[in-house]
Amino acid sequence: MGTPAGETSNAKDNVGDAVANDQAIDQPDGLTPKNKYGKYKKNLKEKIFDWTHKKSPKSRTDSDSSTQTLTYEEYLKLRRISEAGQQLISLEEKLYDCVHGSEDQEEALKEEEELKVAYETFSQELWTTIAAGVTLSGEELKQLASAVCSIEQEEERDKKCLEEKERNWRIPQWRPRECRKKLDTVLQEAVEQRMEEIPKVKEAEKLSSIKQDIFKMGKRLKEDLVSVVMNVKGCYPEGYDICNVYAKLYHTTFSSRLKEIVEFGLRQEDCSYVLGWVHNYYQNDILKHRDLEKEIDGKSLGSLLPEDVIKQLESQYLSNRECEIKQWLSNAVGNEVTKWMEGEIPEQVDGFYHSEIAIDVIQCIEGAVKEAKEVLDKEFGNMMRLFMCALLECLERYKKTLEDFIKAKEKYKNCAAVIKANMFNCKQFRDYFEKINESFEAEDKEKCLSILSGLEDTGYRYLADLMHLPLKPSYKVLVTQEWLTCSNPVMDTILDLAEKHIQEFSKLKPCCFQELLKRLHFEVIAEYTKRIMKKKIKLKYEEQQKAMAEKICDDSRKIQELFTRYESKEEWLHHVLPKVAEVIKLQDPSMIVLETATLVRDYPDISKKHLSALLYIKANLPSKDAKSVKKVLQLKNEDLNICRSAKPFFALVPV
């Protein structure tokens, strides 16, 4: 505190004293002559030295130098800034106590100027330490804490000086120093410099120049904020909220640099990279980093770019990405089709025919969806619709190309191998669409699955025909007098030929082989049932009907043995022929009605025409009883416990 102007005090004279108890000292060599107060004039440096070397009576011996207070210069050299600053403040207080009662104003002003210069040197050390905050660690953090403490000291001194000024006392020309306000400017300049002077990083060597710049800034920002939280935070009082102060400065600087980059225009890959930082990397990898999330208020920072700039970038991304996706999908199908047309046999992987179409298309879509999630916000839904439109076009083209290829099968010797390879593509596509529960609308997924169903039907029908058509001539002998008299083992011939063709499909993927086997199994049973309904045979006697029923059951067992050997999963087909045979075998009209009811219950798609054709075989069944049997169909929706989960069968067997 100063003393009112005009008041004198002996305290003013001890600024240059060497000891605290005001003992006189001999005049050192080189001191200037005595001034009017009887004291030797000393320059400011000597006064600082004197002040910092005062000792208590217990610490005056040369042998106990370890308890000596360090000089201002020594404190400053050791970066013990708060101690150095406190010495300047103390000297300032004493100087101005003297100035207020001094008659030698010229000398006082000179000393004041010297102290001002000392403060300038001190300030340089103070702000250099503050600016280097994020780069400091270990013992260096003590220097930062000392610098922050000095700011608090300066703020307190400013407050006292302003109080003195209100009482019309003279205060130093450098007061108030406003170090808290200066702190914001120093930190801002330090952050801008940190974000400007970034060396190349190895991880970004292969990126474009724009991506390298953004990556380096993002990496520097993250590392520095982690340093703030882990190191710098502990050097500042809680009221400074230093973590959020730094976060705001880095955010503002990074945002400003991004705006400059965007203004020059971006290529597609750079556009997506910028959007990735705006919507994903900055938010998730930095602000939600485990060390930063609890210390930094990320929501208050806002977006890295203005909304209108983001909208412009997203529009550019959508337009270019749609064209790219369509081209990629077109190439994925087109490259494979070219190979088919040139007669190339598909490669084999693990002994099975293989095609890359599904893999390429799915990877293309997956990659595009993943990137879209990272770089888009409000436009993500629009991007997904564009992707789905492109995918539907791709699948439609794929389906038509495969259908046209099959129609021209006579031209291509590789047709069977190509279809075998592509059936597994269908399986991969189906698994993909059934698995995804997000990104795409359910309606769009159903459209894709519908296209795939058509494609699968086309492919498997072609492959099944390769197996089934050679059996057609032998089917014509079934359910005839020749067949019934066992003069020709028709079923054995059919099944031997069927097995031969089944073995030819060993290079079909197991899941696809099972699908094909299922279809062949169905067609054999359906063809056999169709032959029963052909009305080629009419039997008057019970023994004949029982013999026919037994023959049907015997053939059914042979069919079951063959398809069980190849692990067909269609076990429900094993029961069709025996149940039909049971109706043929029974003679009691009431029992026939009951068995027919069972048949209708298990196969609700059986029609009146099917029953009429079946009863045609039973020539000894009176017409009135036949009518009673047919009436069962009228009851199937009322009194019968219809099997609602029954698979369609008779509806696929024409009469």
Count CB-CB contacts under 10 A for residue 517.
21
User: What's the chain's Rg over C-alpha atoms?
Assistant: 48
Question: What pLDDT, on the 0 to 100 scale, is given for residue 58?
Answer: 35
Contacts of 264 (CB under 8 A, 6+ apart): none
Max mean pLDDT range (465-474, 487-496, 551-560): 551-560
DSSP for 281-341, please give it.
IIIIIIIT-TTTTTTS-HHHH--SS-HHHHHHHHHHHHHHHHHHHHHHHHHHHHHHHHHHH
Tens-place pLDDT, residues 343-358? 999 999 998 999 999 9
Higher local confidence (pLDDT), 561 or 33: 561
Tens-place pLDDT, residues 465-489? 998 889 989 899 899 888 888 766 8
Contacts of 337 (CB under 8 A, 6+ apart): 401, 405
Max mean pLDDT range (74-83, 150-159, 546-555): 546-555
Q: Can you tell me the mean pLDDT for 498-508?
A: 89
Q: Can you tell me the mean pLDDT for 549-558?
A: 95
Tens-place pLDDT, residues 74-110? 777 888 888 888 888 877 777 766 555 555 566 667 7
Question: What pLDDT, on the 0 to 100 scale, is given for residue 170?
Answer: 65
Q: SS3 breakdown of the chain: % helix, strand, coil, rounded to 5?
A: 70, 0, 30
Confidence grade of residue 2 (pLDDT, cut at 50, 70, 90): very low
Give me the chain's average pLDDT, please: 83
pLDDT above 70: residue 278: yes
pLDDT above 90: residue 453: yes
Residue 483 and residue 477 in contact, taking contact as beta carbons nearer than 8 Å: yes
Helix-helix angle 307-341:242-263, to 10 degrees: 60
Q: Can you tell me the mean pLDDT for 508-536?
A: 93
Confidence grade of residue 644 (pLDDT, cut at 50, 70, 90): low
Contacts of 634 (CB under 8 A, 6+ apart): none
pLDDT above 60: residue 176: yes
pLDDT above 50: residue 35: no
The pTM of this model reads: 0.69
Residue 521 and residue 568 in contact, taking contact as beta carbons nearer than 8 Å: yes
Q: Rounded to whole angstroms, how far apart are CA atoms 195 and 176?
A: 31
pLDDT above 70: residue 462: yes
Residue 425 and residue 445 in contact, taking contact as beta carbons nearer than 8 Å: no
Question: What pLDDT, on the 0 to 100 scale, is given for residue 66?
Answer: 41
pLDDT above 50: residue 30: no
- H/E element, 269: helix 268-276
Looking at the chain, the whole-number percentage of residues with pLDDT higher than 70 is 84
Confidence grade of residue 612 (pLDDT, cut at 50, 70, 90): very high
In this structure, what token pair is assigned to residue 359? 């893999």
Helix ranges, 504-644 (H): 510-532, 542-565, 576-585, 589-602, 608-616, 623-630, 632-635
Tens-place pLDDT, residues 209-263? 999 999 999 999 999 999 999 999 999 999 999 999 999 999 999 999 999 999 9
Tens-place pLDDT, residues 562-602? 999 999 999 999 999 999 999 999 999 999 999 999 999 89
